[in-house]
Amino acid sequence: MFDPGSILGSTFFASREPVRNPLALKLVHVAQALGSKEPSLMGSIGHRLVRGFLLSADAILCNMKEGEIVEVTDYDPVRKTSIVIGMRGPSRFLPLHWLALQTHPDKLVTLYLAVESPPPGVSVFGSKLLHGSFEEAMEVVRSLKASGKGSIFIDGAGLFMVTRDLETLSKDFEALLEAARAEVKKTPTKKKKNKK
């Protein structure tokens, strides 16, 4: 089966059946746990396999279901085509997840979050390219590598992270949340002046 997709690329379904890899369920549990801290949080999560990788559809994390995980068995950035096994199409940020895993051989997990502002201490990438495109992914990953950190904020799109494993992802996510909460507490609130 074929899904013509959009200008971001085309998806070919090798099989329209649920992913049988046990990691799929683990990804769902981690996504739900991350989403439980911020219930409206939307994004996608990926995990490297020996061949290919698992990737979720773009979804509200706390409501993610196993059927939203696909196995990307092949991706061709030149033709902008992907071959997947699963019930739904993968995240529109597939090129970014794929390229981050290609350029970070020591990392297993990727996460994209649709947030409006960068957490404190996270580099900002100002993109004029189409969000989700391979061209943008190349620039984002180049900036991510240059920063030497595991996360980057894409202006107008959201936060992207690449981490060693699922446990590290949870710790890094919690650290970003804590930094954001601390920043909110530090921001002075304006008090109304009493006129006499």
Q: Give the domain ranges of the chain.
A: 2-184
Query: Could you tell me if 42 and 34 are in contact, meaning their C-beta atoms sit under 8 angstroms apart?
Result: no
Closest CA to 30 of 143, 179, 166: 166
> For the chain, what's the residue count?
196
For residue 189, the model assigns a pLDDT of 54
- For the chain, what percent of residues have pLDDT higher than 90? 75
Share of the chain above pLDDT 70, in %: 90
**pLDDT score, position 37:** 86
- Is the domain spanning 2-184 CATH 3.40.50.300? The answer is no
Q: 188: pLDDT confidence band, cut at 50, 70 and 90?
A: low
5 or 140, higher pLDDT: 140
Q: Are 101 and 112 in contact (CB under 8 A)?
A: no
Q: Is the pLDDT at 69 greater than 80, yes or no?
A: yes
- The predicted model scores a pTM of 0.88
